[in-house]
């Protein structure tokens, strides 16, 4: 790799691997330019889809510390570098692959962990980060209101018990 243009391409790809939350490798054989443009739009704002050379990308991934993808760099390969929510981009890939069977998801990496094609499809089945956070907040709010009602019930129960004891003592004192 003596040529400076290749060295620059490897450096750029390595930077993209390092700065991405996730990267998904796909095979795009048989897709038209218009379909690739549509795919790029379906991935969302936080993903960049790039057709890459296998040998240069393999070297760049290794430089970025990702060796789990080495066996997937065969055939025409493109990489979706995801900097935002990986679920949104995984859904875009999955939905596009349903409509266009020529797109094949090979595998990928998420936060340094290797993912198979099936794991990426499972990731696509998750709800988005915002939905999960709102559900979590709702669960916390529900638990807080349960705790508040429990804490309110204790003093009122104590007051009723003390009143009942006073009434009983008054009855016993009046009966003697």
Q: Which residue has the higher pLDDT, 154 or 164?
A: 164
Taking the C-alpha atoms of residue 71 and residue 74, their distance in angstroms, rounded to an integer, is 7
The mean pLDDT value for 87-112 works out to 86
8 A C-beta contact, residue 10 and residue 1? yes
State the chain's mean pLDDT as an integer. 82
pLDDT of residue 176: 55
Phi, psi of 67 (to 5 degrees): -110, -5
Task: Name the band, by pLDDT with cuts 50, 70 and 90, for residue 174.
Answer: low
pLDDT digits (tens, 9 = 90+) for 107-163: 888 887 888 888 888 887 776 667 767 877 777 776 677 766 767 776 777 777 878
pLDDT digits (tens, 9 = 90+) for 33-48: 888 888 888 887 888 8
Task: Name the band, by pLDDT with cuts 50, 70 and 90, for residue 55.
Answer: confident
pLDDT of residue 150: 67
Task: Name the band, by pLDDT with cuts 50, 70 and 90, for residue 16.
Answer: confident
pLDDT of residue 147: 67
* β-sheet bridge partners, residue 104: 27
Is residue 2's pLDDT more than 70? no
β-strands 22-27, 77-82 pairing: antiparallel
* β-sheet bridge partners, residue 82: 22, 47
* β-sheet bridge partners, residue 157: none
pLDDT of residue 1: 46
Is residue 54's pLDDT more than 60? yes
Q: Which residues contact 132 (CB under 8 A, 6 or more apart)?
A: 126
8 A C-beta contact, residue 112 and residue 69? no
């Amino acid at each position: 790799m003596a040529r400076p243009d290749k060295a620059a391409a490897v450096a750029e790809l390595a930077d993209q691997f390092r700065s991405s939350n996730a990267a998904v490798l796909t095979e795009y054989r048989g897709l038209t330019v218009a379909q690739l443009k549509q795919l790029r739009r379906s991935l969302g704002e936080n993903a960049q889809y790039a057709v890459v050379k296998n040998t240069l990308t393999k070297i760049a991934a290794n430089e970025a510390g990702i060796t789990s993808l080495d066996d997937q760099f065969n055939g025409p390969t493109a990489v979706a570098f995801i900097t935002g929510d990986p679920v949104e981009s995984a859904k875009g890939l999955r939905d596009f692959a349903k409509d266009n069977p020529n797109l094949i998801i090979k595998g990928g990496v998420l936060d340094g962990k290797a993912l198979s094609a099936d794991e990426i499809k499972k990731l696509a089945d998750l709800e988005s980060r915002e939905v999960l956070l709102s559900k979590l907040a709702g669960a916390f709010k529900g638990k807080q209101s349960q705790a508040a009602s429990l804490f309110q019930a204790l003093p009122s129960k104590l007051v009723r018990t003390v009143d009942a004891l006073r009434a009983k003592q008054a009855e016993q004192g009046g009966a003697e």
